Chains A and B, each alone.
Chain A
């Protein structure tokens, strides 16, 4: 007896599958499901833009409405990827413009976006709604002007930490008077002044505006005007939070904030003048997200704000908060899920603030829902890490950066192996881990043994030998992203675990001991991997096969060698026509 659902029923069922992983799994069931699924998939996520090419994507998914692409490897954030490496979105945009006229959303991370790309986007997609550019570069305010002028139905324009060539602030004035659909505007990363009157008019005619993150140039005195025009805001980022202390400015600011009954997220606060901080007190108890990481103000001022934020779920702050401030967080923010503490003076060895491991231990004790931590500090101990792991076995993301490379347990002077071992052993749901401090191969043994759900691991200045890398590659079943710098890992572990790399998105290794020869061998053995050697030295041909490469970036791909490499990038072990045989690998992506 054969069963078959009518297509419409199948399509309806699939419409409830939102996760890409679920859809990928469904498409592997049988040919019918594969065909059905691909015709109705609307949202695409490509975690590595070189894992696949636009043609393959378009061939499989003809009806896409939203695309998300990621380009450069994560370590590009820290200047480890040389300029010109790649991540160009242009070829994608051109194909999308040709085939997806009804595309509505584009989200890009760490990609090179030119003005021409933005112009195409602004003209090719009639119903374009969402543009989110995160850590992107390559465009200027001219590109933004094109988007403003032409995207009639735009809802979201979100520039997160982008490098924009700022030719003028006039681009904002290109939004026509008839444009009223804006829901979210984030221009925090821009440094040039935009016309305030244009901004004010834009806000006034955008009844659906929920998110407004200003840039530093918008003066404090003018914020109240904007807030009065948009009391429905849920997410607000101030500009520079400083002005001469004037009672009239203060009271209108305070009044404006108290009018924002729906405000849940607050950020900005550059150049903060503490006297103006109490103006936000009336909204503190509403806040679920607070970002004070640009507020270079001392702990007492920060505490006054935070002690009123009883409903806070995510806190981002500088180490000016100090242990004392984190004690307040532990007592006040019982709903806290995520804590981020950035360093105020990371290039100086001596502590400029009283922030130690104790602050983190305190929060781990007091905040039972804490799942995600990013913490920069100058000292750590195994006992603190063990306490944290026992307090918070529900941690899913633990990123610790001890500023001095290879710093040992400051109490016992031992490596921090046991401490991090305890983290992976007790926190069984851990999906992301970044380690620092003095670490031997032992910590990798613990990770390989216990970190079964680990998806992403970042390692620096750690380990003793290839055994360390081998433990991780052979033990971490769920590992998809591994990034390593300045570790004594070489060829053996890499070659012994070559097939593991096909189950991962990518592996980055820089300033390690991986040789040219090993990279070539790996590239030859594994047609499904691109083994990119990134090396800016001259006369590489004169180096022996066993010489270590500067950087290697290995990723699985179905599209073979890329064609846009600069001269310092070499894809190893492939012949000139090394394009992978697509028919063998056209499976659920």
Chain B
């Protein structure tokens, strides 16, 4: 990230804090403060407020899988088509996809005849079908989840899945 980019934005930006190149995240925090944004406001595509996630790269930070599974909570937000409120789930609390998807369905009180399929937004902003990548990679790259209502027409369903950033 070059110094020039930072100074370019600096001039027009209202901020509190030291002059000079700013850390990317500091700028985002200030934007949200000015607009009175809370947790749900997602201006920069990276989540706002306290539980903001960092730039996600596979295997970063370098905490070994054993420790990650044991100690670390990785809460991501889950939305469901038609439901007014989001929920949170700790994706690190599961050993694999099968118990994870079961827990997701329980979270929203969905039964066996589930009309919803889980999709997730990864660190590149792409919406993917849950189960597409190995479980370990999923836990590291999943930023948020959505329970998408199944559409009767198979073709439309696929198209819907491919559409980016529906939220």
Contact = CB atoms under 8 A, between A and B. Distances in A.
Interface of A: 75, 77-80, 83, 135, 161, 163, 189, 270, 293-294, 296, 318, 342-350, 376, 401, 403-408, 410, 412-413, 434, 458, 460-461, 485-486
Greatest chain A CB density within 10 A among B1, B20, B70, B71 is at: B71
Interface in B48-93: 50-67, 70-74
Nearest to B136: A79
Contact of B71 (A294, A403, A406, A412): A294
Contacts of B59: 75, 78-80, 485
Closest 5 CB pairs of A and B: A78-B59, A161-B66, A77-B64, A349-B54, A413-B21
B58 A77 contact: no
B74 A404 contact: no
Given A294-B70, A410-B23, 18 more contacts: A75-B59, A78-B59, A79-B136, A79-B137, A293-B67, A342-B63, A343-B72, A345-B72, A346-B72, A347-B56, A347-B61, A347-B72, A349-B54, A350-B52, A376-B63, A401-B61, A404-B54, A408-B21
A485 B62 CA distance: 11
Given A318-B71, A346-B72, A78 B54 contact: no
A182 B137 CA distance: 39
B125 interface: no
B61 A376 contact: yes
Contact of B63 (A343, A410, A434): A343
Nearest to B52: A349
Nearest to B51: A348
Contact of B61 (A270, A296, A343): A343
B37 interface: no
A360 to B, nearest CB: 16
B160 interface: no
Interface string B92-134: 0000000000000000000000000000000000000000001
19 contacts: A77-B64, A78-B60, A78-B63, A79-B58, A79-B59, A79-B65, A79-B136, A83-B134, A135-B66, A189-B66, A343-B72, A347-B53, A350-B51, A350-B52, A404-B54, A405-B55, A413-B18, A413-B20, A461-B57
Given A349-B52, A376-B61, A486-B57, A404 B67 contact: no
Interface residues of B, number: 34
A460 B62 CA distance: 10
A344 B72 contact: yes
Greatest chain B CB density within 10 A among A83, A270, A406, A413 is at: A413
A343 B67 CA distance: 10
B54 A347 contact: yes
A80 B21 CA distance: 32
Contacts of A163: 66
A261 B60 CA distance: 42
Given A79-B136, A413-B23, A460 B65 contact: no
A83 B20 CA distance: 45
Given A83-B134, A347-B56, A78 B62 contact: yes
Contacts of B23: 407-408, 410, 413
Contacts of A296: 71
A347 B136 contact: no
A77 B25 contact: no
Nearest to B58: A79
A460 B57 CA distance: 11
Given A79-B137, A404-B55, A413-B20, A349 B25 contact: yes
Contacts, number: 95
Nearest to A436: B61
Contact of A404 (B25, B62, B134): B25
B54 A403 contact: yes
A135 B65 CA distance: 10
Contact of A77 (B54, B57, B65, B73): B65
Interface in B18-33: 18, 20-23, 25
B52 to A, nearest CB: 5
Contacts of A80: 58-59
A486 B21 CA distance: 23
A405 B54 CA distance: 9
Contacts of A461: 57
A232 B17 CA distance: 58
A270 B1 CA distance: 41
A346 B61 contact: yes
Nearest to B73: A345
Contacts of B20: 412-413
A405 B123 CA distance: 14
A349 B21 CA distance: 19
Contacts of B54: 347-349, 403-405
Contacts of B1: 406
A79 B52 contact: no
Contacts of B134: 83
B53 A349 contact: yes
Given A344-B72, A347-B74, A403 B61 contact: yes
Contacts of A404: 25, 54-55
A344 B71 contact: yes
A346 B139 CA distance: 13
A309 B50 CA distance: 35
Nearest to A379: B23
Nearest to A410: B23
Contacts of B64: 77-78, 135, 161
A77 B54 CA distance: 20
B145 to A, nearest CB: 15
A345 B22 CA distance: 24
Nearest to A402: B61
Interface string B135-153: 0110010000000000000
Contacts of A189: 66
Contacts of B66: 135, 161, 163, 189
A64 B94 CA distance: 43
A410 B63 CA distance: 23
A346 B57 contact: no
Contacts of A348: 50-54
Contacts of A270: 70
A189 B66 CA distance: 8
A347 B73 CA distance: 9
B65 A405 contact: no
B135 to A, nearest CB: 10
Contacts of A349: 25, 52-54
A345 B53 CA distance: 10
B17 to A, nearest CB: 11
Contacts of A293: 67, 71
